[in-house]
Structure 1
């Protein structure tokens, strides 16, 4: 199929939870993107990226679970898992073939192998004796903003638990990694310390409603997964960027003049 600037490119992003310090609100893994990036330059986002052909090829070899949205969903889950390993060094949605968890040293080794394989996850799985545990990811949303060269991005949730892991950002794509609660991220953005694109801000507002990963997961499973394509409307003498009601978001519009779209 021939691609054009207006053909949405499949992508995925992964929202990773960990327990908050001293029993506080759960923290989310955030990434500040490099200023040189084409999309969301300098913005604070959840790790993720485009679905690569190798992700789709690997998806074709894995079994589908009941209720999943077929191969596109599996390819997006693989992309989210791969991007997380590549961008942060965190092995989410991966286990040894015998079901044993992956330790930090093994994740670091796999990250090096991933770079050597030009970002293809399948050779890494073979070398490490791992398998994909796609069920570790819970679908949250699907966004496809009407922009030039748009991304059709599936959002997933995953739980890290205690979060005692070593992380390091991938210098080409990001400036730093942050563990912050949804409320803390929003507060820093409102104070001017962080920049948020429209889908990220709406997602943080949504997740700020919950005091644990399990609460957020139950909410996600009970919510519709309609594709969200923000629209501009005129109301109350101003322009608003809006999303539909009924999809789990407590805030569904923002003044166009303040909404960061890309």
Structure 2
């Protein structure tokens, strides 16, 4: 039997905060009535909207990230990166952008005079929701450094109400929360990527991007080189 639920492109951002006693990652909890992953702690993110492809970015993704995103993805890399930055702004109120560029139609960036900036995003992980779920996504996970946020990283006053309990979770403690399975896997990848990384050193590109591919009759685990 073929699963009739369409698969939508989606983008998620893991914002990593360094400089304290231990690194932390920004997470929030989805509502109990949410159709997808209710009451689970997740990273900011959501589906790619048609308008995301029309948004001008002040800087594009790194060439390696762009090439990896082009691996059988249905949306262009710029649209996926734009969705990641838009969802981060909507769900947390935090902005990653640069002044002096073309005006942005998004309320947060527009009011701040910022053009969304995709250059700080590092492509970390990709996973397609398995069949049988009420919603299915081809989810692309990025990492961003909290140092690239414009403004106060503790100010969530402009966030929408889609995520509650927004807070910075020590990376070593994040897996104790009530998490979706894929979130646990992505956290493990983030921990491995940033182990021993000194504060102030740019986030590295992973050697490969793990990909849980659930498009076919049987799940497959791939690596995007």
Question: Residue 168 of structure 2 aligns with which residue?
Answer: 179
Aligned pairs (5 A) from 1:64-143:
66-67=63-64, 68=66, 69=69, 72-92=76-96, 94-97=97-100, 121=106, 128-143=112-127
Segments of 5+ residues of structure 2 without an aligned counterpart are none
Contact 1:16 1:158 in 2 (8 A): yes
Once the two structures are superposed, residues 62-114 of structure 1 have per-residue CA deviations (whole angstroms, 9 ceiling, x without a partner) of 8676441466221111111111111111002x11127xxxxxxxxxxxxxxx9
Answer with 1 or 2: which has the greater Rg.
Answer: 1
* 1:36-60 Cα distance to aligned partner (Å, 9 max, x none): 1111111011101111111122269
- The answer as to whether partners of 2:45 and 2:84 remain within 8 angstroms in 1 is yes
Larger helix share, 1 or 2: 1
Q: Secondary structure at the match of 1:208?
A: helix
Describe the SS at the equivalent of 1:131: strand
Secondary structure in 2 matching 1:183: coil
Q: Is the 8 A contact 2:95 2:108 kept in 1?
A: no
CA 1:136/1:63 → structure 2, altered by over 3 Å: closer, same or farther?
closer
Describe the superposition over 1:201-252 as per-residue Cα deviations: whole angstroms up to 9, x where unpaired. 011122223244778932xx23223531369xxxxxxxxxx8738679xxxx
Gaps of 5+ in 1: 99-113, 115-119, 232-241, 249-262
1:134 counterpart SS class: coil
Do structure 1's residue 223 and structure 2's residue 207 form an aligned pair? yes
The alpha-carbon distance between structure 1 residues 226 and 58, as it changes in their structure 2 partners (threshold 3 A), is: same
For residues 74 and 183 of structure 1, the distance between their equivalents in structure 2, rounded to whole angstroms, comes to 32
The within-5 A match list for 1:151-230 is 151-161=137-147, 164-168=153-157, 170=159, 172-186=161-175, 189=176, 194-209=177-192, 210-212=195-197, 217-218=203-204, 221-225=205-209, 227-229=211-213
168-177 or 6-15: bigger deviation: 168-177
Pick one of 215, 221, 224 that aligns with 1:244. Answer: 221
Offset at 1:183?
1.4
Q: Distance in 2 between matches of 1:64 and 1:244?
A: 25
Matching residue of 2:136: 150
**TM-score for the superposition, normalised by structure 2:** 0.74
Residue 182 of structure 1: how far off its partner (Å) = 2.1
> Aligned-pair distance for 1:174?
1.7
Report the alpha carbon displacement of residue 195 of structure 1 after superposing the two structures with TM.
1.1
Name the CA distance, whole Å, in 2 between partners of 1:211 and 1:230: 33
